Structure 1
Amino acid sequence: MSSKRAEAQVLARAFHDDPMFTFIAPSADRRRRVLPWFFGAALRLGDQQGRVDTDAGRAAVIWLPPGRTSLGPGALLRSGLALAPIRLGPSAFGRFTRLTSAFEKSAATVHGTTYWHLFILGVDPSVQGQGVGVRLVAPVLAEADAAGHLCYLETLSERNLAFYQRLGFTVAGHVTAPGLPEFWMMTRAPRTD
């Protein structure tokens, strides 16, 4: 299995029961089929637009750096994410679009224009809680600190809040909107110590 395919499988396992994807694709069988494709495209996007770091088939993180956080049509085409309407199906794509539009609208109020976007962090369920995710995000957090850049993320899982707070993130907003799952926006100011 190729490295990128293995990384996509890790992310698919990590996010299989995540509230974002259970909302988008309620059927567990459908998620098993579509998430490897989705995360393969997301990894290509990360390689093209930003930075991807992995831990030997156990975890992967995708960062979008300052100045490259907006995803235009070209980036979506090159990565393959432009096929989402077909691959996800009309209903799931509609839910995906409503949710990601809510992310964009809400996030604009909290992160400013110069920030690192922690786009995706997934750790295989078999090794969660062992520090793999912390080690994987550390290099970009250090780079952001050195450059004086904010870091930003959104999560739909309340249990993730404590993990990110240990890394220095704080809740910048909590969104509850009719017809959508709740989500939290978190920011991390650069550390100078």
Structure 2
Amino acid sequence: MTGPGRILARAFHDDPMFTYIQPDPARRAAVLPWFFDTSARLGRKYGRLDERPGAGAAIWLLPGRGLGLRQLAGAGFLSAPVRLGLGAFRRFGAFTSELERAQRAVLEQPFLHLFILGVDPDEQGRGHGAALIDPVLAESAHPTYLETVNEANVPFYERHGFDVAATHQPDGMPRFWTMIRRP
């Protein structure tokens, strides 16, 4: 059985955001399991982590709960500059700043944030993504927000009630979509 870090690393290995952050595929394969294990820890401690063992995971940030330095440190993200490497860490910071700017432009608190949803490439198309998000969406009394850097994901999210809020094309960075689902 594989934990969420390895599964999510496989799911996002060729994702435009992560190929931008870490262009070298071997280095990306080495660092993504750490990144997603740390993200899963963040979800467990400060949000919600839903898993389909061996298939996929969803990490949610809960309404009204922002992430500050204390939460990032508690999950283990303070080692990111060393783990990612300085260049990748700078690209990560620049891109996440764009994501945060886009988020503030389309939605104010409180909202449920689908922070990460990933399904192992060998398991895609078998309903795992829907099984991970549908129960949470059904019970949420708040708007749900997400960003996707993969245009192929937009129709999946639209089938689950999300609407594109905006398309963003930051200079020199991957294009991304912000999406909102009203309760």
TM band (smaller chain) = over 0.9
Q: Does 1:159 align with 2:155?
A: no
Matches of residues 81-92 of structure 1 in structure 2 within 5 Å?
A: 81-92=77-88
SS in 2 for 1:91: helix
Q: Letter of the 2:21 partner, please give it.
A: I
Which consecutive aligned stretches of 4+ in structure 1 deviate over 6 angstroms post-superposition?
A: none
Q: Aligned with 1:57: secondary structure?
A: coil
Q: Distance in 2 between matches of 1:35 and 1:103?
A: 19
Q: Give me the CA root mean square deviation.
A: 1.0
Amino acid at match of 1:97: G
What displacement does 1:109 show?
1.3
Amino acid at match of 1:184: W
SS of equivalent residue, structure 1 residue 168:
coil
Which of 48, 53, 60 is residue 51 of structure 1 equivalent to? Answer: 48
Aligned to 2:106: 110
Give secondary structure in 1 for the equivalent of 2:105.
coil
Among 30, 34, 40, the alignment partner of 1:37 is: 34
Q: Which amino acid aligns with 1:167?
A: H
Deviation of residue 143 (structure 1)? Answer: 1.4
Deviation of the 1:114 alpha carbon = 1.0
Q: How far apart are 1:177 and its partner, in Å?
A: 1.5
TM-score with structure 1 length normalisation? 0.93
| Structure 1 segment 13-162 matched on structure 2, within 5 A | 13-68=10-65, 70-144=66-140, 147=141, 149-162=142-155
The alignment-based identity, stated in percent, is: 52
Q: Which runs of 5+ in 1 are unaligned?
A: none
- Aligned mates of 1:139, 1:63 — CA distance in 2: 12
The residue number in structure 2 matching 1:175 is 168
Q: CA deviation at 1:126?
A: 0.5
| Structure 1 residue 141 displacement after superposition | 0.1
Residue 185 (1) aligns with residue 178 (2): yes
**What CA distance in whole angstroms lies between the structure 2 residues aligned with 1:37 and 1:108?**
28
Q: Hey, what does 1:12 align to over in structure 2?
A: 9
Shift, 1:139, TM fit: 1.6
C-alpha displacement of 1:137: 0.6
More moved, 175-184 vs 153-162: 175-184
2:152 partner amino acid: R
